[in-house]
Structure 1
Amino acid sequence: MVHHSVSDESSSEAQYAGPLGRLATLSYGAGHMLNDITSACWFTYLLLFLTDIGLSPRDAAIVMLSGQVADGFTTIFVGELIDRFGHFKLWHAGGSFLVAVSFSSVFGSCLPCKVMGSNSLTLQTIGYSTFAAIFNVGWAVTQVSHMSMVNCITLNPTSRVALASCRNAFTMVANLSLYAVALCVFSLYSSKDTVDIKIQYRWIAYLSIFMGCCFVVLFLVGTKEPQLKLQIQCKKVSSISWTHWFKKILYYQVALVYTLTRLVTNVSQALLASYVTNELGMGQSSKALVPAIIYICSFLVSVTLQEIRWSGWRLKAFFNAGAILWMFSGAGVSVLPDRMHNLMYILSIAIGAANALMTVTGISMESMLVGENVNGCAFVYGSLSFVDKLSCGLALYVLESYQGSPDVMGNLGSNVSHSVNRYGLGVIPATCAFLSAVITYTMKLPDTTSSSTLVEPLLA
């Protein structure tokens, strides 16, 4: 009887150590589509939308910061609850529902203003901040439950990277879908006043929610509740305390790298639409075309990364390649004159590739940090996301506080001024990329390469 028990346990471990198939990887990747498409709209258009309807840049930044703070604190508590009680899919479904019902109000009319019968800027700021906080609570619940599933689905390191890469590839699909919708809305429906602007973004929000919910259904139907965590709990392995991670140097290194990576991608995305229209003088369609090029390149690179057999040193090498590419891209953005604005399309290609390289490998470093300690995986993802959300929110708040002020860094020649948009899209991401590359170089990641790749490569 003992022999059968040991045999069953070893066969179970062998099952989880084996590579995943294509369908399992794809169904998992689809689970973050609603979060991704709404996040793309949040970071690309929220500040632009709020300032277009009359809020000051500082008030618009307060709305975004309120959402980021709510998101950050939610990740901590949700991570602890998931570690204790499990039920990843149930948390995911609840968070997705909250995102779906609240997002349209972020890009819609101010509900408290209608109730109070007032359109004061203070009340608008409070109203939009409230729904931004609710939206980000749901977003955080979905994100933490989805990301922490990776270590409970498989023990295979290559498959774990494949899951992260597939998730990133679907992020690109979500972003491209958003920009396709936005391009159609901006082209077909002109904005002459505040009412028209609100209608534009309301349609973008409604269509984004519909598409995202379709993919959430595919995820819930096609992905099984991870059993690896349940098996560990059945063996009565105690939950890993927070102090376990705080004693690891690698935890702080991965946290810094992940946070800097999110600063690179989120800050640049939030200021991109304003940069191409206000700084470079490009047409309204550029608000959708330039981001679309970035995410097409990111998508192609992300899918390609799924075919690589991963080890610790390869993660570091690819991450640093992306960081170096971002440093050159940031320098280009900083000095690009408006008369040569078409070069932004070339820079977009480099930015897209750099984003994918840094994001996929950065998330995979989290997975390597967790390893087989799945009883504490949700706390790791939640705590790192907490730092990420607060840092991005504060960075954008500081930048927007200077929006409209005289040139932040003075003039760089007669045709290039270092405005907030140039500084936030060029200098800050390049600096964060440099710091993250230095930290990554000092990491000591496990250097074991999986013996096999995916059962069915996604680019077969």
Structure 2
Amino acid sequence: MTGGSEEDPFTKPIGRWSVFFYGVGHMLNDITASCWFTYLLLFLTQIGLSPRDAAIVMLSGQVADGFATIFTGELIDRFGHFKVWHAAGSLLVAISFSSVFGGCLPCSILHNDSLTLETFSYSMFAAIFNIGWAATQVSHMAMVNCISLNSTSRVALTSCRNAFTMVANLGLYAIALVVFGVIKAGSKEDTETQYRWIAYSSITIGCCFVIIFLMGTKEPRLRLDLRETSRARIPWVYWFRKLLYYQVAMVYLLTRLVLNVSQAYLAFFVIDDLQMDQSAKALVPAIIYICSFVVSVLLQEIPWNGRRLKAYYTAGGIIWIFCGAAILLLPRNISSFMYAISVFIGIANALMMVLRSLPLTWISLLIINHVSVCLI
């Protein structure tokens, strides 16, 4: 690869400002995703949709996300222009997210409040949201290996991105705590007003950071030697013959299943089952993320090997099993113990997410280094 010498600027560590500008680029995605998984189903059912229709809306978004991730990755790999894809995806996210939590736009235009039209409208904007979200995510992640060839800088870029993910999540729950405390949901209109303020505040904050990212980050362009390029282009079927590929995929899938399902239904549980205050919808997730953030920082100081990685990951899974049992058995008259359970959920989430990411990062970088090509 050209640039192997010390004179190549791409092999030198990049500055802190460059790391910062890159790290804030996913804030819009993170803050909207946190709101999406925590409050979407609750919002839809509170404004009158049936649980079945709410599930259809969520499912339409996830299906769109699955297909968009594949095709967006292929298009970015062929044509490049990471910042263009990032900006276009962010624009779709901002418009569609406000259209979901801001109320049924087609219903207002057509003066029709039928549940069928509402379900169709929310499903359509949910799909658009996830398409934009995928374009932003893939373009932002792919930039890491094209910004710098220095491994230390790559770790710094990824760490900064993860740090701002935590900031985005905590910011969302801080906004929600204020909104739920100020605006009381006594009717459908009040509920829509609550989530409209949360959505618009989240979009405003996220878009400010997107602008900082686009202004502060240069479009990455690396030069690759032709011989290295030929070695990089290996068939995709090569990875489907590797057992490790399926092992890592299953670990990732099952971990995300636990975390996403719990995040999506936790707000339902604290309000409908435990009948806690409205502020609990924000406090419980916030406690989980704070504890997860603290444990994630501590885990970075531990030297890792395969045996220790498996042990800590297993410990996270066991803690989650006990937390799940405690949630199911928790009586309504001592619902305040949910805050204590949230601490252990945060610890378990950190153990599972961070340790899952170690083998995933390794195999992902291996795939990227062999398959992805950064064009001049």
1:435 corresponds in structure 2 to none
**In the TM superposition, what whole-angstrom CA distance separates every residue of 1:74-93 from its partner, at most 9, and x where no partner exists?**
00101111222223222222
1:146 corresponds in structure 2 to 140
Question: What is the rounded CA distance, in whole Å, between the counterparts of 1:378 and 1:125 in structure 2?
Answer: 39
Cα gap change, 1:39 to 1:107, in 2 (>3 Å): same
Map of 1:372-451 to 2, 5 A cutoff? 372-374=366-368
Q: Which moved more, 1:306-315 or 1:351-360?
A: 306-315
Question: What is the rounded CA distance, in whole Å, between the counterparts of 2:337 and 2:30 in structure 1?
Answer: 27
Map of 1:252-271 to 2, 5 A cutoff? 252-271=246-265
Match of 2:273 among 274, 279, 282: 279
Match of 1:11 among 6, 25, 31: 6
2:35 corresponds in structure 1 to 41
Letter matched to residue 354 of structure 1: A
Contact 2:38–2:263 under 8 Å retained in 1: yes
1:90 corresponds in structure 2 to 84
Quote how far apart the aligned CAs of 1:248 are. Answer: 1.6
Cα gap change, 1:354 to 1:13, in 2 (>3 Å): farther
2:224 corresponds in structure 1 to 231
Letter matched to residue 67 of structure 2: F
Question: What is the rounded CA distance, in whole Å, between the counterparts of 1:40 and 1:11 in structure 2?
Answer: 42
Q: SS in structure 1 opposite 2:45?
A: helix
Q: TM-score, normalised by structure 2?
A: 0.89
Match of 1:302 among 280, 283, 296: 296
Quote how far apart the aligned CAs of 1:222 are. Answer: 3.6
Contact 1:151–1:367 under 8 Å retained in 2: no
2:25 corresponds in structure 1 to 31
Match of 1:117 among 111, 116, 124: 111
Question: What is the rounded CA distance, in whole Å, between the counterparts of 2:309 and 2:20 in structure 1?
Answer: 22
Q: Which moved more, 1:369-378 or 1:142-151?
A: 369-378
Quote how far apart the aligned CAs of 1:314 are. Answer: 5.3
Q: SS in structure 1 opposite 2:66?
A: helix
Q: Does 1:320 align with 2:314?
A: yes
Question: What is the rounded CA distance, in whole Å, between the counterparts of 1:377 and 1:294 in structure 2?
Answer: 37
Cα gap change, 1:241 to 1:13, in 2 (>3 Å): farther
> What is the alpha-carbon root mean square deviation over aligned residues?
2.8
Q: Does 1:55 align with 2:49?
A: yes
Quote how far apart the aligned CAs of 1:155 are. Answer: 5.6
% same residue: 63
Letter matched to residue 242 of structure 2: K
Quote how far apart the aligned CAs of 1:243 are. Answer: 1.0
Cα gap change, 1:26 to 1:377, in 2 (>3 Å): farther
Contact 2:10–2:147 under 8 Å retained in 1: no
Question: What is the rounded CA distance, in whole Å, between the counterparts of 2:205 and 2:43 in structure 1?
Answer: 21
**In the TM superposition, what whole-angstrom CA distance separates every residue of 1:201-231 from its partner, at most 9, and x where no partner exists?**
1111000001111222233334444445x43
Contact 2:26–2:140 under 8 Å retained in 1: yes
Match of 1:200 among 181, 194, 197: 194
Quote how far apart the aligned CAs of 1:352 are. Answer: 1.3
Letter matched to residue 274 of structure 1: F
Contact 2:57–2:126 under 8 Å retained in 1: yes
Cα gap change, 1:222 to 1:233, in 2 (>3 Å): farther
Quote how far apart the aligned CAs of 1:198 are. Answer: 1.0
Match of 1:211 among 199, 205, 215: 205
Q: Does 1:166 align with 2:160?
A: yes
The answer for unaligned runs of 5 or more in structure 2 is none
Cα gap change, 1:294 to 1:19, in 2 (>3 Å): farther
Question: What is the rounded CA distance, in whole Å, between the counterparts of 1:198 and 1:78 in structure 2?
Answer: 33
Q: SS in structure 2 opposite 1:241?
A: coil
Quote how far apart the aligned CAs of 1:164 are. Answer: 3.9
**In the TM superposition, what whole-angstrom CA distance separates every residue of 1:111-163 from its partner, at most 9, and x where no partner exists?**
22123321111111001111111111000111112223334445666665554
Q: How many residues align?
A: 372
Letter matched to residue 190 of structure 2: D
Q: SS in structure 1 opposite 2:224?
A: helix
Question: What is the rounded CA distance, in whole Å, between the counterparts of 2:301 and 2:213 in structure 1?
Answer: 22
Q: Does 1:242 align with 2:236?
A: yes
Q: SS in structure 2 opposite 1:28?
A: helix
Question: What is the rounded CA distance, in whole Å, between the counterparts of 2:68 and 2:32 in structure 1?
Answer: 18
Question: What is the rounded CA distance, in whole Å, between the counterparts of 1:201 and 1:41 in structure 2?
Answer: 9
1:190 corresponds in structure 2 to 184
Question: What is the rounded CA distance, in whole Å, between the counterparts of 1:251 and 1:198 in structure 2?
Answer: 44
Question: What is the rounded CA distance, in whole Å, between the counterparts of 1:358 and 1:368 in structure 2?
Answer: 16
Q: Which moved more, 1:52-61 or 1:25-34?
A: 25-34
Letter matched to residue 69 of structure 2: T
Contact 2:233–2:372 under 8 Å retained in 1: no
Letter matched to residue 255 of structure 1: A
1:333 corresponds in structure 2 to 327
Quote how far apart the aligned CAs of 1:319 are. Answer: 3.2
